[in-house]
Amino acid sequence: MTTTITITGAGGQIGYALLFRIAAGDLLGPEEKVRLRLLEIPQGLGAAEGAALELQDGAFGLLEHVEVTDDAAVGFDGTDLALLVGARPRGPGMERADLLAANGGIFGPQGAAIAANAASGVRVTVVGNPANTNALIAAASADGVPAERFTALTRLDENRARAQLAQTLGVPVHTVRRVPIWGNHSATQFPDISHATVGGKPVGEALEQIVGDVPTWLDETFIPRVAKRGAEIIEVRGSSSVASAASATIDHVRDWVQGTDDWTSAGVVSHGEYGVPEGLISSFPVRSVDGEWQIVEGLELSDWARSRVDASVAELLQERETVQALGLL
């Protein structure tokens, strides 16, 4: 079988890191052939075309076809998986409302183009920031496509949180499970360790032995470190997260398509779960079952955790109000 995958912003950094992982079979496994559509704006076409030449030179057995375009109708034609990476970055002096407006001008038309051209079972993953609200705008513009097919990437935040916890505990990262991100992919996000396990056991006691006062450690060390990891990478590397963001995108889409054996995190549409207002695209603990994300329900939230979730959801609501006032919803 062959899957058609569209990557917007394919001429950018994350796009470049994603393309070769996908062509190598990291997303859909060693049996599934892929057809890639690289959608760019005119200024980015050269970089995307160069990447396409390199893909050719990679001689990937699974790569059936690569097409580079700046026409959304062509870019999303028959697509099964749309990875919306290209976005308008925040410029100097740009207010948050300006940023939301500029991105609304990208994600609204892309949502409409997906509805008009993509395969009927299309799954959309928004990476470009502000990812949750961009996904909301795209979903609202995609008449006839269920909102459940539009998701925002928060897996990088979860991977960062699991890695920090593993490092603190001195255990391999794969043994750390159930560290969901709640809310917005922003500084207000809430990486939640209340249900986390290490090797199948709750982390509580082991963590207390190492860090002492766990609540203080969460407030002062863990949560700020995870939420500000992007800034830390920029400071150390001199450039934003690229390969880790591409890797998290692969994790998200692979799990969505192939299923999960435990919880993970994704920005998905709320139907009112945990009191998150209906229609918002918020990060939740999720499982993927039969190709669909399901929110893990019934988890206890302490008053402290509740206030953290509420603060991030309040930010999402504010973003929704701003884009509504701009006429983008």
Nearer to ligand NAX, 87 or 176 (CB): 87
Count of residues that interact with ligand NAX, criterion CB under 6 A:
30
Vertex 316: Cα angle to 293 and 128 (nearest 5):
70
44 near ligand NAX, judged by CB under 6 A: yes
Q: How far apart are CA 193 and CA 161, in angstroms?
A: 9
| Active-site hit among 185, 195, 252, 271 | 185
Tokens of 259: 């299923």
Work out how close the CB of 250 gets to ligand NAX at its nearest, in angstroms, rounded to a whole number: 12
191 near ligand NAX, judged by CB under 6 A: no
Tokens of 101: 């407006």
268 near ligand NAX, judged by CB under 6 A: no
> What angle separates helix 131-141 from helix 96-117, to the nearest 10 degrees?
40
Q: How far apart are CA 149 and CA 272, in angstroms?
A: 17
Tokens of 75: 């870019």
Q: How far apart are CA 163 and CA 150, in angstroms?
A: 27
Eight-class DSSP state of 53 = H
Exactly one of 24, 41, 119, 214 binds ligand NAX (CB under 6 A); which one? 41
**Span near ligand NAX by CB under 6 A; candidates 26-34, 38-46, 250-258, 287-295:** 38-46
E-state strands within the chain: 2-8, 33-39, 63-69, 81-84, 123-126, 150-152, 176-177, 181-182, 190-191, 197-198, 201-202, 264-269, 281-289, 292-295
Exactly one of 3, 5, 7, 14 binds ligand NAX (CB under 6 A); which one? 14
Nearer to ligand NAX, 9 or 111 (CB): 9
86 near ligand NAX, judged by CB under 6 A: yes
Exactly one of 6, 40, 80, 113 binds ligand NAX (CB under 6 A); which one? 40
Nearer to ligand NAX, 33 or 254 (CB): 254
**Span near ligand NAX by CB under 6 A; candidates 124-132, 142-150, 257-265, 278-286:** 124-132
251 near ligand NAX, judged by CB under 6 A: no
Nearer to ligand NAX, 51 or 62 (CB): 51
160 near ligand NAX, judged by CB under 6 A: no
Work out how close the CB of 13 gets to ligand NAX at its nearest, in angstroms, rounded to a whole number: 4
8 near ligand NAX, judged by CB under 6 A: yes
108 near ligand NAX, judged by CB under 6 A: no
185 is known as an active-site residue: yes
The answer to whether 326 and 97 are in contact (CB under 8 A) is: yes
Q: What is the CA radius of gyration of the chain?
A: 19
Which letter, b or e, does each residue of 191-223 get, where b requires 16 or more Cβ atoms within 10 Å of its Cβ?
A: bbbbbbbbeeeebeebbeeeeeebeebbeeebb
Catalytic residue annotation: 185
Site for ligand NAX, rule CB under 6 A? 8-9, 11-15, 39-41, 43-44, 47, 85-87, 89, 106, 127-129, 131, 153, 156, 185, 230, 240-242, 245
